[in-house]
Amino acid sequence: MSSQPLAIDVETVGLPWAGFMPAIQEYLLERARDEEERAAFPDQLALYPGAARVVAIGMWMPGEQRGGVLVNNSTGERAWTELYDGARVYHGDEAEILTEFWRLIQHSDTIITFNGRTFDCPILMLRSAVLGVRPSRNLMPYRYSFQQHCDLLEVLSFHRAITPYTLQFWCHQFGIEDPKAGLTGSAVPKAFEAGDWDSIARYCLQDARATAELYERLLPTIEVQEGNRRD
């Protein structure tokens, strides 16, 4: 990847519930508000950065028709291969895809996400720490600048001064192809369990590409907000 803006998206699944000792299970269940939520909680761990693992990392360059996706598949080939026109895929276990991710982005310019400040970036850094993978850069820099990390949710909500809306909502508003037209995030765990790596890769790339396209449309707004911060 070159030294230019790069949009990323991360897909996750929860860590095995049985892998948590009873005291930790009970600690996690304290977040549930009633018995119904307690029963459902073990299947929702993908939403919690501290209790999830990375299954795919999508990357797309704004203004270009190319990108790549790293897929957590320990049976796959540890080499970049073509997925479809302009898109490539790399398979490896979680530590391997994180290592490759940090290698690729160390010379990139602005990292672009949608809600990446509260999910994608923390989980990338936390899972890297747990697995002993050294990050090549800080994905959680100063919040009120979009130079190093541009979280489009923060741009569109003016740092949450107004109610945040979803990526799908904003893609609809800007006339960008719906990134949720096929697989959805809630279906990723089942696809991962079934070994449907291709569906996960394509879905993750769709989100990264939509994020890149939205960034291009928002550049004038981003530049004004960033300029106001400097004044």
Q: What is the pLDDT of residue 218?
A: 97
pLDDT, residue 228, reads 57
Over residues 146-196, the pLDDT tens digits come to: 999 999 999 999 999 999 999 999 999 999 999 887 676 678 989 999 999
Residues of the chain with pLDDT below 70 are: 1-2, 182, 184-185, 228-231
Contact between 91 and 78 under an 8 Å Cβ cutoff? The reply is yes
pLDDT at 227: 81
Domains of the chain, start order: 6-230 (3.30.420.10)
Q: Name the pTM for this structure.
A: 0.93
- Angstrom CA distances, 20 to 23, 80, 162, 192, stand at 8, 34, 37, 20
* CA dist list (Å): 11 to 80, 93, 150, 165, 182: 19, 14, 19, 19, 15
68 - beta bridge partners?
A: 59, 88
Residue 85: its pLDDT value, please? Answer: 82
**Per-residue pLDDT at 230:** 43
**β-pairing verdict for 149-151 and 111-113:** parallel
Distance CA 123, CA 111 (A): 15
Percentage helix, strand, coil, to 5, in the chain? 50, 15, 35
Phi-psi region of 159 (alpha: psi -120 to 50; beta: other; left: phi over 0): left
CB-based contacts of 73, cutoff 8 Å, min separation 6 = 91, 92, 195, 197
**Residue 93, token pair as written in the block:** 């276990």
Give the separation between CA 31 and CA 37, rounded to whole angstroms.
Answer: 9
Eight-class DSSP state of 116: I
pLDDT of residue 198: 92
Closest-CA residue to 62 (of 201, 182, 178, 218): 218
